Structure 1
Amino acid sequence: MSSRRRRRAPLALRQAATSLLCLSAVLVSAPPAAGRTAVSPPLPAAPAPPAPAGMPEPPAAPVVREELAALTVAPPRSMSGYSRNRFPHWVTQHQQCDTREVVLARDGKDVVTDARCRASSGSWYSAYDGVTLAAASQVDIDHMVPLANAWRSGADGWDVAKRRTFANDLTNSQLIAVSAASNRAKGDQSPDQWKPRLTGYHCTYSRAWTHVKHLYGLSVTPQEKAELTKMLDTCA
């Protein structure tokens, strides 16, 4: 039997192929030439910082309308014996953080606090008047239902423990960070006497006010109830 042997490539051709392979390896692993910048793959975008938690959301308008209908309608009670000191407020919530500092941290953006829990920087948007505030000293913590309004709506008959809970309620829609100017313009007035300048906030405001009064069994005046009804009608 005869057999054929494979012909081997000429030596010169084999040497040329080997040289090309070596050159390719050098080019792949070599650093970029001087004056040229290596292109790195793009990094994934950093996640956006979380939005401020803000005041706890009150129930939806249909629920609040039922709560409003259940409230006692009565004239305001006497202010005799009232004092803000009857409502222990800004109590310590944890470590060195009092209620005010907790709300500032909750409602603000990029809030930095010091070792004593005081807000040293950040920004706060005031939903009452649309103002953005750059210093904690410009921010007031508003009681949605003011302490004096609560007093003449039934809180005059509460014990100190219930007044303390009311004045420091972080669970419900009772505390909100707003501009000092809007808070002081509001004072202890009910919605028939004062409303946020931003009409787009009237739905949330009326829901929060009514819900707090319902939770704590406080009364409303006829004028207050009528205005709350109108404000709830602005809810989409």
Structure 2
Amino acid sequence: MLKKASLSVFALLLSFTLFLPETHAAPPGTPSKSTAQTQLNALTVKTEGSMTGYSRDLFPHWISQGSGCDTRQVVLKRDADYYSGTCPVTSGKWYSYYDGVTFYDPSDLDIDHVVPLAEAWRSGASSWTTDKREDFANDLSGPQLIAVSASTNRSKGDQDPSTWQPPRAGAACGYSKWWISTKYKWGLSLQSSEKTALQSMLNSCSY
């Protein structure tokens, strides 16, 4: 009787496992809901600065990370379910978190700055040194960089969450945590409409 019960439990666990959603790599440093809420509450709310003087060249990005890899290649390898090639990565499998589409060709992917460079400029980075802006643009230690479909990255442009959010409904939670964490880490401000949108997205998180 015990043996039959054990087999039934095993079968139940196996069937449950088979229907679990597929897991995929995510940027490092994703905070919990409670931590993200604390960070959001601590951010300074103010009117955004102007774009005067802005240039992407002031944020040197995709710099060398050693072993022939630049930042883009490191993120491609980190976010892949699997990949071929070293640097450059030549093929693999990537799940685009923003829109839920799977890709096998790295040329179909962009490395998104979760907080866009122009948004950072308007939120305080205009006063940074070029070295600090370079560190921000190549930040591999936090959730600022993620491999996503080129189409979603380009539709986002330099918008904040008050005017653009990932098209996949289930992406709102993670995206809000990454945005909040990045702004908190780098001491960037946010505007009122941006905070309202982030709070709504964060409320969708279960943990």
Query: TM-score scaled by structure 1?
Result: 0.76
Looking at structure 2, the residues matched to 54 and 111 of structure 1 have their Cα atoms a distance apart, in angstroms, of 16
Unaligned runs of 5+ in 2: 1-22
1:52 Cα offset (Å): 5.5
Q: Report which of the two structures shows the higher radius of gyration computed on alpha carbons.
A: 1
1:182 Cα offset (Å): 0.3
Divergent runs of 4+, >2 A: 51-54
Unaligned runs of 5+ in 1: 1-50
Question: Which sits farther off after the overlay, 74-83 or 105-114?
Answer: 105-114
2:84 maps to 1:124: no
2:39 maps to 1:67: yes
Aligned residue for 1:137?
107
Aligned residue for 2:19?
none
Question: Equivalent residue of 1:197, what SS?
Answer: coil
Task: Say whether the 8 Å CA contact 2:25–2:81 is kept in structure 1.
Answer: no
Deviations 1:8-44 (A, max 9, x none): xxxxxxxxxxxxxxxxxxxxxxxxxxxxxxxxxxxxx
Looking at structure 2, the residues matched to 52 and 198 of structure 1 have their Cα atoms a distance apart, in angstroms, of 15
Residue identity in the other structure for 2:140: L
Aligned residue for 2:153?
183
Aligned residue for 2:66?
94
Task: Say whether the 8 Å CA contact 1:52–1:106 is kept in structure 2.
Answer: no
2:117 maps to 1:147: yes
Aligned residue for 2:199?
229
Question: Equivalent residue of 2:93, what SS?
Answer: strand
Aligned residue for 1:79?
51
Q: CA RMSD in A?
A: 1.1
1:58 Cα offset (Å): 1.3
Work out which structure has the larger RCO, using CA pairs closer than 8 Å and 6 or more positions apart in sequence: 2
Query: TM-score scaled by structure 2?
Result: 0.86
% of aligned pairs identical?
51
Aligned residue for 2:6?
none
2:133 maps to 1:157: no
Looking at structure 2, the residues matched to 170 and 152 of structure 1 have their Cα atoms a distance apart, in angstroms, of 22
Residue identity in the other structure for 1:223: S
Aligned residue for 1:55?
27
Aligned residue for 1:34?
none
1:204 Cα offset (Å): 0.7
Number of residue pairs matched by the alignment: 184
1:95 Cα offset (Å): 1.8
Looking at structure 2, the residues matched to 64 and 55 of structure 1 have their Cα atoms a distance apart, in angstroms, of 15
Question: Equivalent residue of 2:90, what SS?
Answer: strand
Task: Say whether the 8 Å CA contact 1:153–1:219 is kept in structure 2.
Answer: yes
Question: Equivalent residue of 2:111, what SS?
Answer: strand
Q: Residues 152 and 222 of structure 1: is their aligned pair in 2 closer, same or farther, counting only changes over 3 Å? A: same
Structure with higher helix content: 2
Aligned residue for 1:199?
169
2:83 maps to 1:111: yes
